[in-house]
Amino acid sequence: DGGITQSPKYLFRKEGQNVTLSCEQNLNHDAMYWYRQDPGQGLRLIYYSQIVNDFQKGDIAEGYSVSREKKESFPLTVTSAQKNPTAFYLCASRTSGRNEQFFGPGTRLTVL
Amino acid sequence: QQQVKQSPQSLIVQKGGISIINCAYENTAFDYFPWYQQFPGKGPALLIAIRPDVSEKKEGRFTISFNKSAKQFSLHIMDSQPGDSATYFCAASLPEGFQKLVFGTGTRLLVSP
């Protein structure tokens, strides 16, 4: 099956811990994105990557880090510097030359 | 200028009725306007999209109406069904390389049986 997978589905973090969210796609898409979704708000862009080994900050990158070592993988690390990390995190991807972004199923992160 | 304003925040429609969700934008450089449907606990799914050179696009029961001069676009769901109950997001993007999407705040639609 082609698509975008995110793991884990649910993640619990203690304050002061770093956690890494996984995003994998087998669509051969070049661009990948991380969004954060909070209740009553639209999706906000955290980081994006257009090609391997290159990524750019989005609107709310503080407290987050990413890597893009492989075309199909774009993991997001939520660091202890992120003051309010409880949210629903969504990964998306897009092929070059097309506008359509396709989303994964999401990871819900809760800070205990 | 990068905002997309979406209304209403919530909507209740009877089965068989028409659901209408509206979005407005300021930046005339936006050139791609998608609508996403999201069920609770799931990722958004691309529903339908339009470009500003087209005034209307229809796919099944879903229609986007686009008013370039008013800088507004809307989603119409004809013959609304209980299975359409979800949150709908409009978005817009600029003609830049990385295609950043600016999202509206969402509309929670409930279709009553």
DSSP B41-109: TS--EEEEEE-TT-SEEEETTEEEEEETTTTEEEEEESS--GGG-EEEEEEEE-SSTT--EEE---EEE
Closest-CA residue of A relative to B108 is A40
A3 has a pLDDT exceeding 60: yes
Mean pLDDT of the A39-52 span: 90
**Partner-chain contact B43 A103, CB within 8 Å:** yes
**Partner-chain contact A105 B43, CB within 8 Å:** yes
Q: Considering CB atoms only, which of B46, B89, B98 is closest to A100?
A: B46
pLDDT per residue over B8-41, tens digit each?
999 999 999 999 999 999 999 999 999 999 999 9
**Dist. CA A8–CA B29, nearest whole Å:** 37
pLDDT per residue over B74-111, tens digit each?
999 999 999 999 999 999 998 876 678 999 999 999 99
Closest-CA residue of B relative to A6 is B43
